[in-house]
Amino acid sequence: MTQPSTLAARVAGAPISWGVCEVPGWGYQLDPETVLRQMRELGLVATEFGPDGFLPDDPVGKTATLTRHGLTAVGQFVPVVLHDPGHDPVPEVSRAIVGLVAAQASTVVLAAATGTDGYDNRPTLDDASWATLLGNLDRIDALAAQYGLVATLHPHVGTMVETGAETDRVLAGSRIGLCLDTGHLLVGGGDPVAVAREHPRRIAHVHLKDVRAEWAERVRAGEVTYSEAVARGMYAPLGGGDVDVRAIVTALEHAGYQGWYVLEQDTVLTGPPEGETGPVADVQASIAYLLDVAGSIPKGR
């Protein structure tokens, strides 16, 4: 799809902000009709697909569901094992590509899955496994380009690429673009502001999150698991945590970034939200904050 130019027109939603997640037992899962209707009522015009099973499996059905709610697709989060020489990730990614092309979306958002459920534990890679991972990233990058899509690697807590050092290794050892997730990178011990300032040309997609640093520190120290921290409020609406979202967005816009800003506030629901509370209120606050940031960036930059 053709991406709009103004920042305000490049703001998209994500089902995870409504607690919809691929992890078994994550929490109460809202139905797509509720989530997509509320996205549109908040003024969002685009969204990522969400996990497998949230939207219809059939590519035409996916697109029709979004169109019925006045939304377009921007991409899909695809956790896939990349480090195992005995596992070929291309068939899984190819299935996602079919749906993305049908929906005229732009971006494949890869995560280097561990091969186990959840994000609370991960093994350590040796150099041979790293070589396999990096080689698979370049293979998928080339595959996506054949279909007019952009492939990105999403550093993500509990995956094989989590930390700032691991992100640097991907940037140095592969051609793939980066999905800058401002929350996961901070929780993993990285510096999202530095990445935005030092590698803006490699950033092809952005997941905007804000994080309460005290919870991120507890996750890194092993005091709580990632899922426990999310359930207890580690993620906040933009402007309500300790990520310098304003500096990140300003740096990217000054560097000419024209991609999407996907609002993600990972949430665990214990039951159906009541009225306009919960996800609706939080996403509305994030939209307002981001539009305020957009208005503060000098024109013509």
Q: Per the structure, how many domains does the chain have?
A: 1
Which pairs with CB-CB distance under 8 Å and at least 24 residues apart come from 199-203? 199/171, 200/251, 200/252, 200/255, 200/256, 200/257, 201/255, 202/171, 202/177, 202/178, 203/177, 203/178, 203/179, 203/252, 203/257, 203/259
Mean pLDDT, residues 228-256 taken together: 97
Would 110 be classed as within a structural domain?
no
Contact between 141 and 174 under an 8 Å Cβ cutoff? The reply is yes
CATH number of the domain bearing residue 277: 3.20.20.150
Flag whether 191 is in a domain.
yes
In a domain, 268, yes or no: yes
Indicate whether 122 pLDDT > 90: no
Answer yes or no: are the C-beta atoms of 262 and 206 closer than 8 Å: yes
Q: Which residues of 101-113 are buried (b: 16+ CB within 10 A; e: fewer)?
A: ebbebbbbbbbbb
- Residue 1 one-letter amino acid: M
Task: Note the pLDDT of residue 115.
Answer: 84
Cβ(141)–Cβ(147) below 8 Å: no
Q: Which of 23-32, 272-281, 286-295 has the lowest mean pLDDT?
A: 272-281
Average pLDDT over residues 264-276: 89
Which residues form the domain of 291? 7-74+162-296
Read off the pLDDT band of 301 (50, 70, 90): very low
In a domain, 30, yes or no: yes
Q: Which residue has the higher pLDDT, 52 or 277?
A: 52
86-106: average pLDDT = 95
Cα–Cα distance measured from residue 222 to residue 233, given in angstroms and rounded to the nearest whole number:
17
Q: How far apart are CA 223 and CA 217, in angstroms?
A: 9
Indicate if the pLDDT at residue 4 is higher than 60: no
pTM, 2 dp? 0.94
How many angstroms separate the CA atoms of 96 and 98, rounded?
5
Question: Is residue 229 in some structural domain?
Answer: yes
Residue 230 resides in a domain:
yes
pLDDT higher for 158 or 196? 196
According to the model, what pLDDT value does residue 3 have?
54
Would you state the pLDDT for residue 173? 97
% of residues, the chain, pLDDT over 70:
96
pLDDT at 298: 79
Instruction: Look at residue 224 and tell me whether its pLDDT is greater than 50.
Output: yes
Mean pLDDT across the chain: 93
* 8 Å CB contact between 214 and 188: no
Cα(188)–Cα(100) distance, rounded to whole angstroms? 29
Does the residue 149 lie in any domain? no
Identify the band that residue 140 occupies on the pLDDT scale cut at 50, 70 and 90: very high
Tell me whether residue 117 is in a domain: no
